[in-house]
Structure 1
Amino acid sequence: MIVVVSLGLAFVLVVQWRAFQREAQAQREYPPQGRVVDVDGTRVHVLTMGSGPDVVLLHGASGNVRDWTFSFAERLARDYRVVMFDRPGLGWTDRLPGKSGPWNTRYESPGEQAALLQKAADIVGVDRPVVVGHSFGGIVAMAWALNRPETTGAVVMLAGVANPWPGSLGWNYTVVGSGPGGGLLVPVASAFVPGGYVDSSIESIFAPQPAPDGYAQHVGAPLVLRRESLRANAQQVNYLRPHVVKMSARYPDLTLPVEIVHGDADTIVPLDIHARPLSQQVPGAVLTVLEGIGHMPHHAAPEQSAAAIDRAARRAGLRKGD
């Protein structure tokens, strides 16, 4: 019995040590690209570039601002001040107080995430922004608009989560998002998940398009393999649906411009579950369907994605017609 316990303790120590080493390496290789601001004691990573009307970019699940800086943010910075945030627990933004810990299942709701990032936006002087959300960032963009409709210029959804979905999201979110999963499975995954698994996951996110050359190296995927980031991501996704149900009932109250860009080949956030209903829920919403495009329209169809942001800015009176 003593031998078994000793071996178990040794395994735990090895796992935690290896996870710590991989986290330290990830943070050395992918430091913050912007600056970290203090929001009521929570550190928020914000990156700005360009000048002009404000455009806020909110990344999706398992992401960070590096998804935008691969190419899309530079395109927008020709005409806008582009303001990018890491969402709580991801990239270089802290989790909210009381949400972290290996056995904790408290998570940041879309409304809480939006409120935190809005305070960070106030610090850097954001004014009536066009708020752009990709994937999970889409539901945070909608929460942003619902929280502050009077000071939000417009919303642009790029393959954004917007409406309740049938069924579950898979065992991995359920298990990793649980207390035991966060305490026991997450450190093992953080310590031993191979790089090949990360590469294949990126390819599946881009499908049916291939991931751009150099994307996997640029985006800093090892950052999401940190223990707290794995827990934050899984919990935020796993417990999301009830919030989407409540939020979607309020969409008809929005009067600001909403542009929706969605690929009809997106199997991760399906068009007919999220984008089409949203286009009917928000008065005046405009839906652009991209034929044959998957879940990453800002990479696979950057011209159409940028054009939707331009339309939103013009509709909000933030930019004159070209």
Structure 2
Amino acid sequence: MKLALILAGIVLIFWGVTLWKAARHEARALESHPPLGQFVTIDGVRLHLLQVGQGPDIVLIHGASGNMRDFTMDLVVRLSDRYRVTVVDRPGLGHSDRLDRDGATIFEQADILVRAVGALGVERPLVLGHSYGGAVALAWATRHPDRAAGLILLAAASNPWDTPLSTYYRVLSHPLGQIFAVPILTAWVPDRVVTDTIAQIFAPQPTPEGYADYIGAGLTLQRRALRENALQRASVLEEITAMVPDYAALTLPVEILHGDADTTVWLTIHSEPLSRQIAGSNLVVMEGVGHSPHHAEPQTVVDAIDRATRRAGLN
């Protein structure tokens, strides 16, 4: 009995320290990487958006685990001289609230983002999505065709795949993982682990200089963000599978860009089939490029945005 009490005390102390360290880690992340833009509240959910520039509207939607800083580091600067650019933190990530505790589907995210950008006067923008954000962009276009002028899809997840969910996401999306594993990661995992993961995503290109510091690994390791991202990743395959039949009805201009060296979202599984599923879409295969086309070849992405703008009759 005495040993059991001692062990219980040790566990309680460890858990208390874990929660304290997790809160401290989050506070440091929010202090070092504060919001860049403004907040819009939709049905009690506070979303973080940044709007800069003048011209045709374009909305940028980031991928899994990330935040709007993935775009504000470079791409926004390249566009804001002739576009009104609205960048978002997807629900639960960056500085945006979660919609609920079940994980926001790509459809729920599209619905609330349409309303959020509408609150800033954006009614029918070009919509650019990267990776998981590409699935949200496709959900935006299929559910709200009158609220999108065109799509630019960068290494977008768009078609079903047959590889199982990783152990990491199986654990973090499980109810017990949400309660116990997430705070442990927030508290004890150093930011350099996120930095190493970023390097794997950029490969074979090097991580852009200063990227890891700029994007804020600590924002990714927030308990809210870890929980939400895991639930989103756990359900996205089913959601994309349900969305595929809707692609044939899309009539807006669609530019699809994908690197042939991408081993995160495979060209042959996603963008090549998608280019056949959407009539009139334009597929650009980027030779030797990994999972981040907008960092590897930003001008190629800007050219695609300009093409979509012309095709949509926005200039």
Counterpart of 1:103 in structure 2 is none
Counterpart of 2:182 in structure 1 is 186
**Structure 2 counterparts to residues 118-267 of structure 1, below 5 A:** 118-267=114-263
Distance in 2 (alpha carbons) for counterparts of 1:169 and 1:316 = 37
Q: Residues 172-219 of structure 1, C-alpha deviation per residue, up to 9 Å, x if partnerless?
A: 011111111111111110001122211111100100000111111111
Distance in 1 (alpha carbons) for counterparts of 2:224 and 2:195 = 21
Preserved CA contact (<8 Å) 2:57 2:125: yes
2:58 maps to a residue whose letter is V
Look up the SS of the partner of 1:128 in the other structure: coil
The answer to whether 1:11 aligns with 2:22 is no
Counterpart of 1:65 in structure 2 is 68
1:267 maps to a residue whose letter is T
Q: 1:284 aligns with which of 273, 280, 287?
A: 280
Q: Residues 109-143 of structure 1, C-alpha deviation per residue, up to 9 Å, x if partnerless?
A: 00000111111011000031010000100000001
Distance in 1 (alpha carbons) for counterparts of 2:260 and 2:111 = 31
Query: Given the two structures, how large is their TM-score scaled by the length of structure 1?
Result: 0.96
Task: State, as a whole percentage, how many aligned pairs show the same letter.
Answer: 47
Q: Residues 83-128 of structure 1, C-alpha deviation per residue, up to 9 Å, x if partnerless?
A: 00100110111000x32xxxxxx11000000111111011000031
Shift of 1:310: 0.7
**Runs of 4+ with >2 A deviation:** none
Distance in 1 (alpha carbons) for counterparts of 2:131 and 2:149 = 20
Counterpart of 1:77 in structure 2 is 80
1:234 maps to a residue whose letter is A
Preserved CA contact (<8 Å) 2:37 2:51: yes
Counterpart of 2:23 in structure 1 is 20
Query: Given the two structures, how large is their TM-score scaled by the length of structure 2?
Result: 0.98
RMSD, aligned CA: 0.8
Number of positions where the alignment pairs a residue of Structure 1 with one of Structure 2: 312
Gap regions ≥5 residues in structure 1: 100-105
Counterpart of 1:87 in structure 2 is 90
Q: 2:56 aligns with which of 49, 53, 73?
A: 53
Q: Residues 273-302 of structure 1, C-alpha deviation per residue, up to 9 Å, x if partnerless?
A: 110000000110100000000000000010
Q: Residues 216-260 of structure 1, C-alpha deviation per residue, up to 9 Å, x if partnerless?
A: 111112101011100101110111111100101110011111110
Look up the SS of the partner of 2:65 in the other structure: coil
Distance in 2 (alpha carbons) for counterparts of 1:301 and 1:151 = 28
Distance in 2 (alpha carbons) for counterparts of 1:216 and 1:92 = 17
